[in-house]
Each structure stands twice: as C-alpha cells, then as structure tokens.
Amino acid sequence: MDMSGPSPAVVEAGRPFAGRVRGRFAAVLAVTASLLVAAPVGAGTTAEVAPPAEPADLEPASATPADPDPTAPAPPGLAASAVDASAVAPADLVLDLTFPAERGGRYSDDYYAPRSSGRTHCATDVLGAKHSRLFAAVSGTITSMPTTKPSYGYTVTVQGDDGRRYTYIHLNDDNPGTNDDAAGPHLAYAPGLAKGARVARGQLLGYMGDSGNAKGTPHLHFEVNDGAYQYAPCTTGGINRINPYRSLRQAEAEGDYGPGTGGGTTGTPARSIHDACPKDVVPWTTFLDVGTTHRPGVDCLVWWRVAAGTSRTTFSSGNSITREQLATFIANLTQATGSPLPATGTDHFDDDNGSVHEGNINRVAAAGIMGSATRSFSPGLAVSRGSMATAIAKTYRYDARATLPAGTNAFPDDAGSTHESNINAVAASGLAAGYSDGTFRPAAPVTREQMGTFLARLLDLLVEQGHAARPA
C-alpha cells in the first residue's frame, strides 16, 4: 500500500498531519492523527519546552543522563498511553521530510546505538562540513532557539505542522578558521530567526557545527518525536520517538533537499579557489539564497570587495548580471588585485549616459576588456556565459599582462560562437566549467552566484601566478 496523500482524518481537520506516510503504518497514523486533531498540538501555542539534552553522542565522557528532565510536562495533546506504541514501531515510520542537512551528509542507522552509561542514541547523526546549511525538514514554528549557548550546544527545535517535533543539536559555535567555541548565535542560526518564528519546509535554519559534546566532529544530531512525546528513554524502542533514518533515506531518494543544495550548474569546480580564498580564512557571509556550489565563490568575492550582497541576507543569487554591472565588477576586481583600470576622460558610448556604471564602462572600454563596435554598449543586456568567458580572458590579459593558453575544443555546443576561443581558453585554465551534461551553454545568462564562482577562480589564478595578493 502506498498512501500518497494525507489520511481522511487529516483532510477533515484542515491540518496536514502525516504528509505522505508510507507503508503499513499509515492506518495507525490516521488514528494517531485524529487523536491529535482532537487536542491539537498548537503550533505557536506551546509553551517553551526545553529541548532534550543531547545524549553523550560522539564523546563518551559526559555524565548527562539521556533524558534529564523526566518531570517535564508532556506537550498538550494526547497522553502517551493513547498511542499503541507496540504497533507503531518508530523505526519503521517513513515521514515525508526535506533532508535537514546539505546533500552528501554521511549517516548511518544509529538510532539504537549505545552511548555511555547504558544510554541509547534515539536520533540520527548526520556528519558534514562545519557551517554547511541545515534546513527545516517540515513547515512549522520554532519553539526553542537559545541565543545563549546551552551546555549541549546551540540547538533549534521546530514544532512541525505535522504535530511532530524536530530537534537539531550541535549547531556551529566556531568562528571561521578556528575551533574556538566562541562564535555567537549569528553563526549558528539563520539570520532573522527566533523562537516563535514560522519556518517553511526547506527553509534555512542554521549551520552545522560541533557545539556541545560534538567538539571536533561537526554533525547534526537530528531527533524526531511525535506530538505525544514525553521524555521517555528510547532504550526499548522508545515511546513516541521516531527513528529518522528511513525518512532521511527517503528524502535522499526523492532528491528532497533544501534550496541550492544540488544540481549546481558547474558541477565540481574546475579549479579550487584556495589560493585566493582559503576557506579557513574567508569570513562566512550570511546570505540565505546562495547554494552550495557557488557559496565559496560568493564568499570569496565579498571578502575581496569585488561584490556585495543586495542585503545582509540576500545576494540575489539567481539574478542575471547585466553588462554595466559586469563593468563595475571587473573594475572592482582589477582594483582589488592592484591593477586598477585606467582612468579615462573619453565617453565611449551614448546609451549609458546617466548610468551609475558609466565611469566603469568607459574604463573597461579603455582597457580593451569590454566594448562595442558602435557607440552602443547595451548596458542593460544580460551577460551570456559566452561573453563572460571573453570578459574573463580579457581581464586576465589586462591584469596579468599575458594571454591565457588557447586550450583545446572543450565543448560541443559553442561551435560558431564568437566566444568559442575564449571559452576554450578559460576552460583550459580551469576558470570555467561546463554543465554535467558536457555542454557550456554559451547563450545562457550568467547569474550573480555563477559570476561569484567565475571571478573567484580568476582571482585564484592571479594569486597563484603572483599577479595579485590576498586581502590582508
């Protein structure tokens, strides 16, 4: 049986409960759902409930009991005894979730894994990179998000609209490049979030880390409990606790990830940007809209002061860049590398008069990096990937006073493009890469985050070859 929709009880109540619950427990869940509906777990009406303390997780020394607060009141809702726990084997539930960490996180079915002092884990640990992003598995309301770091680390709890509670532990507490445990909550949680805030499924919640007893092993301790959860041990399978493992597998199988965590346009970066932007040095930006693939490049450009966000939390990553904007980005880049574009008193074009970019347009024209055969620059035209390749090749030539090696024919879909030779050259130097299907798509517009990656690689090449020095 495959239930692909909510149970009838759920529809009646107008509140999604289980989403897509699969398999033989759907009927039991429908009963559970109706019970919950009778006494709903009100998102936003629940009093602050302390998150369960972290069982000593990857480090065995802690003497913290697994469930230190047996006196904590049950959330409003049905009593635990109302659920036939023996029928609803938590390990078998498969919930419809968005994967709570970035693609590629490593985890195993460690729900029943023993921990010290006879405790059991009762969660799934997803290991990944420090400061990688964590996402809301379901839509709901944040019921706990301590801004003063608890002993078990930064943590966020979402009371899901499905009646369940999703707890994330060990969020980041380190400043970039350190293991100092001293970062404030702004490097643990997504900007703008606080207890009581609504979050949408897939929304950025915060950042993976090693706070609490996870020091040195960044991971997400991901815990799911249903609405009737009480602080009962899960040693015997638990009461109203849910093993997240199979739900995580299902989310992965469906490709249900947070935004920007996969399908990056350039796949594996053609060239590391470590010379220009060592990852243990570059500060993290707080943009919500930059995906995994391009985030290092965007952070790099911001650090070099080549680009900036459109707000503290947005980079407008998906926006196409225009020719006049690219002129300014190139002016900024050459400035940052110590080879600023020439000043010029010549007005090269008629259609950029009054643009804030006009000065930079004239300078890139004077430097021979961008231009036009006429007196029209087309300042508002979107920059194609092909013309970006040409601008990169010419910026390199200006900055390094050398020409990129020509390279070989790298892509099948740029034959006849006026940019083909430059596309081959930037590909040969690792400054641009194609899509995973082997194409370059020279006519496709360049987004702001793609530009971040392109220009960060150019910076990297310039630093590697001694034409530029990293920001102090």
Burial (CB count within 10 angstroms: exposed 0-12, middle 13-18, buried 19+), residue 69 = middle
Per the listing, tokens 């964590």 go with: 134
Query: How near is the Cβ of 165 to Zn ion at its closest, in Å?
Result: 16
**Amino acid symbol at 351:** D
Residue 295 contacts Zn ion per CB under 5 A? no
By beta carbon distance, the residue nearest Zn ion is: 221
Q: Identify the helix (H) or strand (E) that includes residue 125.
A: strand 124-127
Euclidean distance between the first and final Cα of the chain, in Å? 62
Interaction with Zn ion in 108-167: which residues (CB under 5 A)?
A: 123, 125
- What six digits make up the tokens of 440? 């370059």
Interface pattern 168-207 for Zn ion (x via CB under 5 A) = ----------------------------------------
- What six digits make up the tokens of 158? 């979402």
Beta bridge partners of 133: 207
Query: How near is the Cβ of 5 to Zn ion at its closest, in Å?
Result: 33
Integer Cα distance of 292 and 273 in angstroms: 14
- What six digits make up the tokens of 362? 């004239």
Query: How near is the Cβ of 236 to Zn ion at its closest, in Å?
Result: 19
- What six digits make up the tokens of 421? 């030779």
User: Is the CB of 61 or the CB of 472 nearer to Zn ion?
Assistant: 61
Q: How far apart, in Å, are the Cα atoms of 472 and each of 248, 332, 390, 468?
A: 42, 16, 30, 12
Residue 67 contacts Zn ion per CB under 5 A? no
User: Is the CB of 121 or the CB of 271 nearer to Zn ion?
Assistant: 121
User: Is the CB of 123 or the CB of 459 nearer to Zn ion?
Assistant: 123
User: Is the CB of 125 or the CB of 449 nearer to Zn ion?
Assistant: 125
User: Is the CB of 221 or the CB of 448 nearer to Zn ion?
Assistant: 221
User: Is the CB of 108 or the CB of 236 nearer to Zn ion?
Assistant: 108
Q: Measured at the alpha carbon of residue 465, what is the angle toward residues 363 and 330, in degrees to the nearest 5?
A: 20
Burial (CB count within 10 angstroms: exposed 0-12, middle 13-18, buried 19+), residue 81 = exposed
User: Is the CB of 219 or the CB of 457 nearer to Zn ion?
Assistant: 219
Burial (CB count within 10 angstroms: exposed 0-12, middle 13-18, buried 19+), residue 381 = middle
Q: Are 167 and 52 in contact (CB under 8 A)?
A: yes
Query: How near is the Cβ of 107 to Zn ion at its closest, in Å?
Result: 10
CB proximity list for 179: less than 8 A, separation 6 or greater: 210, 215, 216
* Contacting range for Zn ion; rule: CB under 5 A; set: 56-64, 146-154, 333-341, 411-419: 56-64
* Contacting range for Zn ion; rule: CB under 5 A; set: 57-65, 68-76, 433-441, 445-453: 57-65
* Contacting range for Zn ion; rule: CB under 5 A; set: 49-57, 59-67, 378-386, 412-420: 49-57
Burial (CB count within 10 angstroms: exposed 0-12, middle 13-18, buried 19+), residue 103 = middle
User: Is the CB of 217 or the CB of 339 nearer to Zn ion?
Assistant: 217
**Amino acid symbol at 120:** T
User: Is the CB of 158 or the CB of 425 nearer to Zn ion?
Assistant: 158
Interface pattern 75-114 for Zn ion (x via CB under 5 A) = ----------------------------------------
Interaction with Zn ion in 202-261: which residues (CB under 5 A)?
A: 221
Query: How near is the Cβ of 243 to Zn ion at its closest, in Å?
Result: 12
Query: How near is the Cβ of 57 to Zn ion at its closest, in Å?
Result: 4
* Contacting range for Zn ion; rule: CB under 5 A; set: 53-61, 171-179, 269-277, 350-358: 53-61
* Contacting range for Zn ion; rule: CB under 5 A; set: 50-58, 188-196, 313-321, 366-374: 50-58
User: Is the CB of 111 or the CB of 377 nearer to Zn ion?
Assistant: 111
Query: How near is the Cβ of 64 to Zn ion at its closest, in Å?
Result: 13
Residue 57 contacts Zn ion per CB under 5 A? yes
Beta bridge partners of 167: 157, 223
Integer Cα distance of 449 and 274 in angstroms: 18
Residues that bind Zn ion (CB under 5 A): 57, 123, 125, 221
